[in-house]
């Protein structure tokens, strides 16, 4: 199983980036997809998640209204549209998938993509 993420980069404050992450075909039933981030010296934190059933979303408070998570269920691809980026959004962003098999949840992580917000 593999998660392929892309879309990170360097952007000025106030700019936008779009991250995408596609789950490989050999995943079982995916219940949630989302993004976490980890800044230098900080713990990894939730940014946004979305359920595959019902597309219910959850956001970290500091990104509400600026970031939008969306899901293409047919392609098992999750997107994170990031607008009005701030220097404090600088971090490595990790794609996260929860696979549910036999009533057990399994967590999978992508390699991470760097997002740098700087002038």
30-63: b (≥16 Cβ within 10 Å) or e: bebbbbbbeeeeeeeeebbbbbbeeeeeebeeeb
* pLDDT tens, residue order, the chain (119 aa): 789 999 999 999 999 999 999 998 888 888 999 999 999 999 999 999 999 998 999 999 999 999 999 999 889 999 999 999 999 999 999 999 999 988 899 999 999 999 999 99
Supply the pLDDT for residue 20.
Answer: 97
Please compute, for residue 118, the number of CA atoms within 13 A of its CA located in the half-sphere on the CB side. Answer: 7
In this structure, are strands 113-117 and 9-11 parallel, antiparallel, or unpaired?
A: parallel
Supply the pLDDT for residue 36.
Answer: 98
């Amino acid at each position: 199983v593999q998660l392929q993420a892309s879309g990170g980069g360097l952007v000025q404050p106030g700019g936008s980036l779009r991250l995408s992450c596609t789950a490989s075909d050999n995943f079982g039933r995916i219940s949630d997809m989302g993004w976490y981030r980890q800044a230098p010296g900080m713990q990894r934190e939730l940014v946004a998640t979305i359920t595959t059933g019902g597309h219910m979303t959850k956001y970290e408070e500091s990104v509400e209204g600026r970031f939008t998570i969306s899901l293409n269920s047919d392609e098992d691809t999750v997107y994170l549209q990031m607008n009005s980026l701030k220097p404090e959004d600088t971090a490595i962003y990790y794609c996260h998938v929860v696979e549910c098999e036999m009533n057990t949840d399994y967590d999978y992580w992508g390699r991470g993509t760097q997002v740098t917000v700087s002038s």
